[in-house]
Amino acid sequence: MKSFQKILSLVGISSAFISTSVESFSSRYTESPVSVLPETTDKRNNTPLNCPHFQNCPGCITPIDYTNVPVVESAKLFFSSSSIQQKTINPRENFFETVIPSSVHGWRTQAKLAVKPKSKWGAGCKFGLYERRSHELVEIPSCAVHHPSINEAIAILEKATINVKTPSWNEDSGSNGLRYVQFSVERMTGRVSMTLIWHAGDLKQTQPHLSRLIKECKKIDNKRKKDNEPSLFHSIWCHTNDSLGNAIFARGQKNWHPMDGPEFVREVLPGTNVKDREGLLHFSPMVFRQGNLNGFDEIAMHVANSVGGGNKVCELYAGVGLLGFTALSYWERQGEPLGWVRCSDENPNNPRCFKKTLNSIPSDVSGRLSMKTNNKKRGGNNFKKKGNDQNQEKTLDELMQEMMDGGVSESTVIDPRKGKISYVVADAASALHKGEALGADVLIVDPPRKGLDDEVLTQLCKPYNPKQSYTEDPMFLDVPKYATNWVNDVHTLVYVSCGFDALARDCDRLLKGNAGWKLESATGYILFPGSNHVETVAVFKRRAGRDDYDLQY
């Protein structure tokens, strides 16, 4: 309630208004770029959850009418307030639209569950969620929102822990044992990547219990083949974490241990299918992955549509680059290819997944041409050998001549060995100061629940500087770095929020600043039906000093 009042106070809504009833909102799509039809959302909103664990499980707060939860009501009040409406491009009733982007059943394709002893004698483990504000475990073996493969994996794992007497972590004594478990479903195959989080300092301290458990899980899984059922487990990992806090995963690559199966779970790029061969996203347990990928596919397509064709894009808080890859692929199919996409995030494990995804994308989309292909297409003399295996880039004169001949457009000049999409390991503020958004038309941000870093907000709130010349490279800046507007040319901001409190704070600061931002749209996605959560896509626009950019206020 305090966070709710804080949000309303930002926009000057009185406490008397808080007590008034809020009329239910009908999800209508008149100008929305997303693909979920209003009748689909209405139908899903009226579909009962019918989960046997609803009364006891802390995960869900409503078994139906999923758009009628406190955080959605907060969002409606915030975006309908006069101070926000005055800063919108097209003020209208019901400005904040709500969407249920996936089925209300079986949507969770990734789940983290806590572990407790199955009995006081320690024969095996049980799995579930902690009750609110306690460490009492609620078992959820038949969870209605879990992908069916996750419930099957829970059953196999529980049986295996009983068979081999796997110990669970004892919080009081601090003894080693199984602490948490994460399940990630590969949607194409329905198979599960399982990560066993063990309270231990290193892999040696997990033995012999870990090896016995993995062997038993595989044994039970192999019996499925005899019944003509496909193997369930895609891969098995172990993560060691002996910290005493509430963090499930410990920082550092040394804590991750692949035990069995492939490294990556693969997912089809949003807006495509396997037959299209447009590319596959790659995820490992070491990177962030959305809990509802079916629903997030719709968000990714919304973001791609909002980017606009032919633009240059910078994506901060990019994870493995899902949003950037989706936009790149989408606009290539529309015949308006993006100039380039620059992705960044601070997780050092992301680039490995990014590179695997990039290698799976057709070269005409990614812009990455092999040296052999490039030489063949351009006469074989564009790259000269230097030494035995080092290649030299084309000279500036050669590039200029090629542009004059019509071979390469000025807006899409790229190093054919690097392509149109790139990745930098850096936090959001550092990425901006490295020049990742210089020359970008569009900035995509998908921050954690805490919202945008303060330095990112500071840059976005700076007004357009007409004295700062256009450049895509910080080497050619003609103003001192301390005076540089690192987002000077950005005219569109696409903000994907998973924490509404932070979005309200950031939105208020953006609109009250002197950078000229106005809010074009705000769409709430009920990504986790049944829970008090909303994922919001907010699109902001400004002029940014471009003569050819016509923003109607």
Q: What is the pLDDT of residue 102?
A: 96
Which residues, other chains included, contact 291 with Cβ-Cβ below 8 Å and sequence gap of 6+? 108, 109, 110, 111, 527, 528
Q: In the beta sheet, which residues pair with residue 175?
A: 170
- Give the model confidence (pLDDT) of 26-65 as tens digits: 222 223 344 566 668 899 999 999 999 998 999 999 999 9
pLDDT at 67: 96
* pLDDT at residue 387 in the model: 42
Asked if residue 478 belongs to a known ligand binding site, the reply is no
- 3-class DSSP state for residue 199? strand
pLDDT at 388 over 70: no
Binding site annotation covers 290? yes
317 is in an annotated binding site: yes
Q: Per-residue pLDDT for 14 more than 80?
A: no
Q: What is the mean pLDDT of residues 478-487?
A: 90
Active site residues: 498
Is 345 known to sit in a ligand binding site?
yes
The C-alpha atoms of residue 371 and residue 373 are separated, in whole angstroms, by 6
Tens digit of pLDDT for each residue in 126-155?
A: 999 998 878 889 999 999 999 999 999 999
Residue pLDDT, tens place only, 355-367:
999 999 999 898 8
Q: Is 138 left (phi over 0), alpha (psi -120 to 50) or beta?
A: beta
Predicted confidence (pLDDT) at residue 218 exceeds the cutoff of 50: yes
Bridge partner residues of 258 (DSSP)? 237
- For the ranges 194-208, 355-369, 436-450, the lowest mean pLDDT is seen at 355-369
pTM listed for this prediction: 0.85
What tokens does 430 get? Answer: 């550092």
Contacts of 277 (CB under 8 A, 6+ apart): 362
Inform me whether the pLDDT recorded for 201 exceeds 80.
Answer: yes
Distance CA 264, CA 281 (A): 9
The answer, yes or no, to whether residue 273 has pLDDT greater than 70, is yes
Of the CA atoms within 13 Å of residue 354, those in its CB half-sphere come to 24
